[in-house]
Each structure stands twice: as C-alpha cells, then as structure tokens.
Structure 1
Amino acid sequence: MRNDLLIVEDLLLLLLDDETGTPAAAGTLPYTLGGAVLAELALLGRVETGDPSALNGPRIIAVGDGPLPDPVLQAAYDRIAEKTQRVQPLLLAIGGDLWKTLTDRLIERGLIRREKKRVLGLFPMTRLPAADTRHEAALRDEIRAVLVEDKTPDPRTAAVTALLSASGALPALRPTLAWSAKVYKRAKEIENGNWGAEAVNAAVVRTAAAIAVSTAVVAVTVTTTTT
C-alpha cells in the first residue's frame, strides 16, 4: 500500500463511490474528516485529550514541538495550539473546509479524476470517479481482515476502521463486507477503542481512540438531530 497518504485521505477514498465520487455518510462527512486529522495528530504524539466527561467532548490540547510532515496536519495543529477547544466544535472547524483540499490532492495523486458534464445538456455536474483503485482495494482488504478474520489492526487501520464505523458508512463499502452480528460487534469494539495495539505507545493510541469515540458521538448526535 502507499504510505504517502494521510489517514484522512485513506478514509475519504473509502467513502467515495468509485463510479460517481459521491461520499457515503455525507451528512456527517466534515466531522468524520476532522476526526481523522485529529486521530493522526494523536498518533504522531502532537495532541492530547483532557476533561473527557465535559459537554461537547474532551478538550484537545496541542503538545510537542517542530513542524509537521503535511500542511493539512500543520494547519489543524496550529488551530489547536492557538486556542484549546472541545472536540465537537473542533471537528467541524478542521473538517468543514477539507473537501476541496483533499479531493484536489487525490486527483493530483492519480487516485480519482474530475469529470465535468451537463445533465440534459443544461445543468453542470461534477463527478469524482476512481482512477486507480489499487491502494483503495488494499485498504479494504486490511479492514476486511480486521473485521472478518479478527486480525489485530495497526493503529492507522484501526483509526480508519473506527471512523468508518463512527460515520455509519461501513455497510456502504464496496465490495460489501460479509455483514453479520460478529462483524458489527467487532467494528463497534474498534470504534470504542479496543485496538489491541500493544506494540506502540499506549498513551498515544488511547488518545487517538478517544478522538474516534468522540467523533462517533458527534456523528450520532448530528444524524439524530437532522432526521
């Protein structure tokens, strides 16, 4: 698999329909994308969580020094460093403007393409179909191994799986998983932070998992209040 993509880019690739480029779980997409950026910052040891029981979720605290390896991560970190915030408003603040940035980056990497056409010859429409599905297929295989075969995930795969589950988009993955009570339970375990990643820094993983859990809570809240 490619290792030059962010967790949030992997997540968006999986959410985009390969034929149309329409994202699954579109109603909560900004929160899910924001959660993916925060989870990656956590895995890099650059954010911590505090006061988890408070309204609007835990506070996200910037820690560490030095530049980050990607401008998307750096922009999010700078926002947190400027003002400590609760996770719920921070998810939207970070993820709300990411759609164009991320789709442009995926186009530049040759993973999706932009098609512009007119419906009925009148109405302009833009589609973002897949261009190269090899990386996405490898991601799906990893997630399937974790959920169906009980493979212990690495932290990145755990984060992507947790956020997919949190967004409600796992059943929309193509090709579909062999959905069952066992798979559903396994997905919820990972969503709730049971990543089984003893080989890496436990505190870092706990922070990333806490962010995934908070993202799930926000996604459920947003879905409930808009239906």
Structure 2
Amino acid sequence: MALPGSLPQRIFLLAHDPDKGRFRVGTEIGAMIRAAALADLYLKGLLTDERGRATVAGEQPCSDPVLATVLEEIKAAKPRKWQHWVDRRQGPTVKAVRQQLSDGGWIRVEPYRALGVFPLTKVTIRDPRVRKELVSRVRGTLRDPAGKVDHTDATMVAIVAAGELSLVLDRQTRRAEKQRIQHLNDLSGPIAPALRKSIEASASAAAA
C-alpha cells in the first residue's frame, strides 16, 4: 500500500481523528508537524546537530516544498536550538501539509460553518486503510527487534510518544514501553527531546 512520503504528512494523518473529522482538542499538532519536518530533514542528511543546534548540512536540494521551506528558514538564520524551530511557524506549516495531502488525493478538505457562524474545516481521509497502516507501523515498531527497526518508523514513534498522541499510543502503553521508546528516541536524533521541551514550555506559558 502506498503511503505519503514525508514524516509531516504521516504525522498529520496519525493525529487526525477519523470519527470526528478533525484533530482532537489538546492535540499538539503544530509542534508535532514542525518536529516531523525537522526530523525528516535530519534523516535525509540535510540538517545536522552541532552542539544542540540545527545546522544546514551542505547545499543538497530538497524536492518536498514543505521541507524545503523549513530548510530555507534555518539556512537564513544563525544556528539555533532545535526547540526554536519546533516553535516557529506552526500554523502555516500545518496548513501547507494539509494542502499537500489534499493535492495528493490523500484527504478531502471541506470548509463549513459551525452554528452557521464559525468557519471550520472538516478533513476526511479518502482511504482509511492508509491511516490504519501507519498506526500499525507505530505499534509494530514497538515490538520489532531493535536491529530491524526502520529509522523513519522509529522517528514516527518518537514524535507520537513525545507529542503524547493518545489516539495512537495511550498513556498506559507509553508508560509500559518507556524503555523501548527511549531507544527509538536515540535512533531518531535530537528531535523528540526538542518537541517535549516545546510542549512543556507552551503548557507553562498557558498556565501562567
């Protein structure tokens, strides 16, 4: 079965609640999508970690327009910590990924007005099997022998766990698989810790 190629697109589909036609309240979708974009660039060798900061590695082209935009942001700035780039431009990045999925035929996007007043958007995954396969990959990665784990799937799990996406991995599973998830975090580089810090900082700011 064909799946969307980029991690941001896969995280978008995983975070989408097919029963509600949207993300659940409290889903840290912006931070997760930005983290997924950074992780994709890191796995492709287009970003590297230098003393805890995201740094562009060489001048290789990036064919994915969403990833290319994030790469250009980083290229145009001085080296900054990964959390800084997780925090940046979350809304526009989510919209760009949603448009990618719509253009690619993965989702159907339908604007509507709640109570006839408030503009909202309903998203429908055209082939439910695609999301089911992604969920299966996340859960399978927790069971697969360590030496056989695909780094992209490991990173997908790390982002889902760090983002506390209970729709895919509930709290009980995250606790039970804590050691395994930490191993997957190590495989996926500096992204998951940056995502956790971003979410914690956002929660602290909201509480204040």
Please give the TM-score of this superposition, normalised by the length of structure 1: 0.78
Deviation at 1:24, TM superposition (A): 4.3
Which one of 106, 123, 131 corresponds to residue 126 of structure 2?
Answer: 131
Deviation at 1:28, TM superposition (A): 3.2
User: Quick one: structure 1 residues 118 and 221, their matched pair in 2 at CA, closer, same or farther if it must change by over 3 Å?
Assistant: closer
Instruction: Write the distance in 2 (CA, Å) between the matches of 1:166 and 1:31.
Output: 10
Match of 2:60 in 1: 66
Question: Aligned-pair RMSD on alpha carbons?
Answer: 2.6
Give CA-to-partner distance per residue, 1:89-146, whole Å, 9 cap, x none: 2222253411211111112222221233344445443211222122211111111112
What are the equivalent positions in structure 2 for 1:1-227 lying under 5 Å apart? 1-2=1-2, 4-24=4-24, 26=26, 28-51=28-51, 58-83=52-77, 84-147=79-142, 149-152=143-146, 153-169=149-165, 171-173=166-168, 179=173, 181-190=175-184, 192-193=185-186, 195=187, 208-227=188-207
Instruction: Write the distance in 2 (CA, Å) between the matches of 1:49 and 1:24.
Output: 32
Instruction: Write the distance in 1 (CA, Å) between the matches of 2:76 and 2:205.
Output: 30
Query: Do the aligned partners of 1:62 and 1:80 also contact (CA within 8 Å) in 2?
Result: yes
Give the structure with the higher percent strand: 2
Percent identical residues? 23
Match of 1:204 in 2: none
Deviation at 1:216, TM superposition (A): 1.9
User: Quick one: structure 1 residues 25 and 35, their matched pair in 2 at CA, closer, same or farther if it must change by over 3 Å?
Assistant: farther
Instruction: Write the distance in 2 (CA, Å) between the matches of 1:180 and 1:76.
Output: 29
Match of 1:198 in 2: none
Instruction: Write the distance in 1 (CA, Å) between the matches of 2:118 and 2:32.
Output: 30
Structure 1's unaligned 5+ residue stretches are: 52-57, 196-207
Number of equivalent positions? 204
Deviation at 1:63, TM superposition (A): 0.9
SS at match of 2:157: helix
